[in-house]
Chain A
């Protein structure tokens, strides 16, 4: 089954992380070497992919227009769904990247007797998606505390907002719960909805399971195993400053967490997770709808592709054209004169 292998893979990663995290000797491997290498792979892989995309030109201007374009002065244009200027394109991209504008349009079609096709609102995917992504972002920002000294000013603010409910001690961060819940719901969606289940690949289940495991180990670390945060920070600051060391005394759960996160970083640039970078490169979204106003250049436009020449056309049909009174470039060879078009 498509979900089984990814599930086993995540279990194996957890076991490996835990096993290696048990002894001081191997802790260095999984806690220091692995994330350093993984981070490098992530950065290099990400950049390589982006460069790879950039190396292919955009031959044609193909925005998907999702509203009224700019034309006559009395026709109201829909600036952000059908942008004409660079500025409006930026707004459109902002709406896509930060608010998932297109996904927000989602509907659900059903067929009833008749037949009658009906469209229901279907905001769930948008809601889960945006919850998942913002929870993830919040968590990443919070983790900056571990890699930067002094801690950037916005990190405590984010933490304060994230722990706003003031549940438990240490305070429970909503982002962790929301991440796991949203990933779980996205996972359930793939398993339950027949259409989605049918299109899902192991490569779709794996990152969801991986991220759920990352979230769960993170929460467990903070609330159940109460990992020694000063030692952790010593290790992570070491990572960030290239003065690698393992202070020791850290619970193995931490190393499971690190192994999972490292896997995610390595997996990222070679997978669909690159939609994070790719959305900025989508020609249907990042181009202005001004293709009749400004000429777009195709670097490989082939000047040797010519139309069937008018001269050949006239050569083939000249007699008919003259007969029908259609003007011609070359008259027929001397023959009883035909009437000429006098327009």
Chain B
């Protein structure tokens, strides 16, 4: 799908007639059917993947066709599924009942701001389901019907669900502003679960989920390949710093099991973050191991169903138990940390075979992780810095003038806001915040979370990423910011193309793809570390980029 030139889209998002720019649709939303055309939907799940998961109704189908080849009695399947979930989730029940449609959420959604599509206002996204809920459960539905905003479950409604449950990244920004805390992520998760009951889902989520299940990571890297990839990074670290780092794999008796999104191991710019981790662990002499079995921090189950989330997540504790480690350290990732922080212990705990995490270097006991026994790398690193355990030379990052992007889940489902900032203060000479309405708990999604970072919906992604890109552009123009630091693997995978699109390179470096590099925080940490025995006058960064010569080097 061809994506418009950036100038064109820059003009379009500001001037095309849509609800955000002030135009009013002529037709009521209930009378506006979802229209699928190449580029506005992610490809459906392949039948073999569907079968691998033992999901129903495996088939070839095309969202653009009128007939989605739904199973017989699909309406009943959906409505029974809804009943089942109302009985299991109080959040769903309450959020179906109490919305007053005040509209406070309307212009808080990055998908709405980027597309102007009224059904991307969180309130309407929820009304897509609420209208059916009311039709089944509201008092007076038989008499008042449409007056209450009710409508029966039809193919048209199902198609709308599919379109808009996959134009939401479960980022929870709207829930910050909702006077009742109605969480659209809950709604979207339910919609996706319901759709799976009749075999409607997208391949970009379910294939990685299948890979994670079988090989341990979403790209389907087999154990030897996983190890080999890290081996390449070890070689690069040696070339750049002269230091040998010796990561181990599946090693029993290690103190700490380290789990990070697998993207950190094989994809730019995440690999530089992984190099940062390894340098850090070498620097402090941490007794840790990677696992090839639990080699995926990310959890595509979160984007699928609570059952799938549990199944994929369960590997972490299973592996920690098998290896006999004391506790688990988690790398930088957004949704991974939503699962670890808010779901893991409930789903797969109690982790009574582990110990309350204690930093072997500083002695700090991580009471906030006393039950789950898993610590975020930023918590761990901030504590090391506070205790003066790291020899850091921020000048090594002098070529970077970063801003910091809060990932949705650490910000709004964890409250991890200041640890990364504390680290950033210590590892770069200077950095700038983006405008206040776009950071911390009000941060904007990269636009491609929850399994939407697939190529076929690129224009949609560039639109939904617009609010984030726009805030970066603001500090880029105002302060000359040239780096976008973050603590999320999906960010590293998706902000990169977002920056390449909205902020193409203006300099004379023919290799540059954007003026703002996307950087994992741990890369900046690793790059600033002064290692014992490193080569003298180290002049390269972890990306083999040239460092600014410093007088104070020593």
Give A residues with C-beta under 8 Å from B: 5, 49, 52-72, 74-78, 81-82, 96, 100, 102-103, 105-109, 111-117, 119, 125, 129, 193-204, 270, 272, 274-275, 278-279, 281-285, 289-298, 300-302, 305-310, 313-314, 316-317, 320-321, 323-327, 343
Question: Given the complex of chains A and B, what is the CA–CA distance between A193 and B289 in angstroms?
Answer: 57
Q: Can you name 20 A-B residue pairings with CB atoms under 8 Å?
A: A56-B86, A56-B93, A59-B306, A59-B346, A67-B440, A67-B441, A69-B417, A74-B422, A75-B419, A102-B181, A117-B470, A196-B103, A274-B98, A278-B94, A292-B374, A301-B346, A305-B307, A317-B224, A321-B223, A324-B223
Q: Would you call A282 and B180 a contact (CB within 8 A)? A: yes
Q: With the chains together, A282 CA to B98 CA distance in Å?
A: 10
B342 close to A60 (CB less than 8 A):
yes
CB pair A305–B310 under 8 Å, yes or no, is: yes
Q: State A339–B92 Cα separation when bound (angstroms).
A: 55
With A270-B140, A308-B213, A324-B223 known, 16 other A-B pairs at CB within 8 A are: A65-B441, A71-B416, A72-B379, A76-B418, A102-B176, A109-B467, A113-B14, A117-B471, A198-B19, A201-B148, A270-B139, A272-B101, A292-B370, A313-B293, A316-B214, A326-B227
Q: Mark B77-114, 1 if CB is under 8 A from A, else 0.
A: 00000000011111111110111111110111000010
Residues of chain B contacted by A314 (CB below 8 angstroms): 293
Q: Give CA–CA (A49, B181) in the complex, Å.
A: 19
Secondary structure of the A contact surface, majority rule: loop
Tell me if B186 and A62 are in contact (CB < 8 A).
yes
Q: Given A60-B343, A111-B14, A300-B88, decide whether A195 and B121 contact each other with a Cβ distance below 8 A.
A: yes
Report if B437 contacts A (CB, 8 A): yes
State the B residues within 8 Å of A (CB). 10, 13-14, 19-25, 29, 86-95, 97-104, 106-108, 113, 118, 121, 123-124, 127, 138-140, 147-149, 172, 175-183, 186, 213-216, 222-224, 227-228, 248-252, 292-293, 306-307, 310-315, 318-319, 322, 340-343, 345-347, 349-350, 364, 366-372, 374, 379, 382-383, 386, 411-419, 422, 435, 437-438, 440-442, 466-467, 470-471, 474
Residues of A within 8 A of B440 (CB): 67
CB distance from B218 to the nearest CB of A (A): 13
Decide if A282 touches B182 in the complex (CB within 8 Å). yes
Q: Is the interface of B mostly helix, strand, loop or mixed?
A: helix
Indicate if the CB atoms of B342 and A320 lie closer than 8 Å: no
Minimum CB–CB distance for B244 against chain A, Å:
15
Indicate if the CB atoms of A103 and B98 lie closer than 8 Å.
no
| Least CB distance, B17 to chain A, in whole angstroms | 12
Bound Cα distance A327, B466 (Å):
46
Contacts of A283 in B (CB 8 A): 90-91, 94, 181, 183
Q: Which residues of B contact A113 (CB under 8 A)?
A: 14
Are the C-beta atoms of A64 and B386 separated by less than 8 Å?
Answer: no
In this complex, the member of B86, B94, B349, B383 whose beta carbon has the largest number of chain A beta carbons within 10 angstroms is B94
Inter-chain CA distance A337–B368, complex, in Å, is: 47
In the assembled complex, the Cα of A58 lies from the Cα of B127 at a distance in Å of 22
**Which of B87, B179, B442 counts the most chain A CB atoms within 10 A?**
B179
CB-CB nearest in chain B for A329: B322
Which residues of the partner chain B approach A193 to less than 8 Å between Cβ atoms?
A: 103
Q: Within the assembled complex, what's the spacing in Å between the Cα atoms of A197 and B118?
A: 11
| A68 and B418 contacting across the interface, CB-CB below 8 Å | yes
Check B149 against A307 for contact (C-beta < 8 Å): no
Known pairs A64-B175, A65-B415, A199-B124; A321 contacts B94 (CB<8 A)? no
Tell me, rounded to whole Å, the shortest Cβ–Cβ distance linking A304 to chain B: 10
- Going nearest first, the 5 A-B pairs with the smallest beta carbon separation are A69-B415, A278-B98, A324-B224, A65-B415, A307-B314
A56, A200, A323: the one within 8 Å of B101 (CB):
A200
Q: Contact: A297 with B98, CB < 8 Å? A: no
Contact of A115 among B10, B183, B414 (CB under 8 A): B10
Query: Which one of A59, A108, A293, A296 lies within 8 Å of B367 (CB-CB)?
Result: A293
Alpha-carbon gap, A324 to B176, bound state (A) = 48
**Bound Cα distance from A257 to B228, whole angstroms:** 79
Residues of A within 8 A of B180 (CB): 102, 275, 278-279, 282, 285
Given contacts A61-B342, A68-B417, A324-B228, contact A301 B422 (CB under 8 A): no
> Min CB distance, A271 to chain B, in Å?
9
In the bound complex, what is the Cα–Cα distance between A112 and B473 (angstroms)? 14
Q: A62-B413, A278-B98, A296-B345 are in contact. Are A202 and B213 (CB under 8 A)?
A: no
Interchain nearest-CB distance for A299 vs B (Å): 9
**Alpha-carbon separation in the docked complex, A165 to B467 (Å):** 47
* Most chain B beta-carbon neighbours within 10 Å: one of A63, A119, A292: A292
Residues of the A chain whose Cβ atoms lie less than 8 Å from the Cβ of B470: 115-117
List residues of chain B with CB within 8 A of the CB of A343: 248, 251
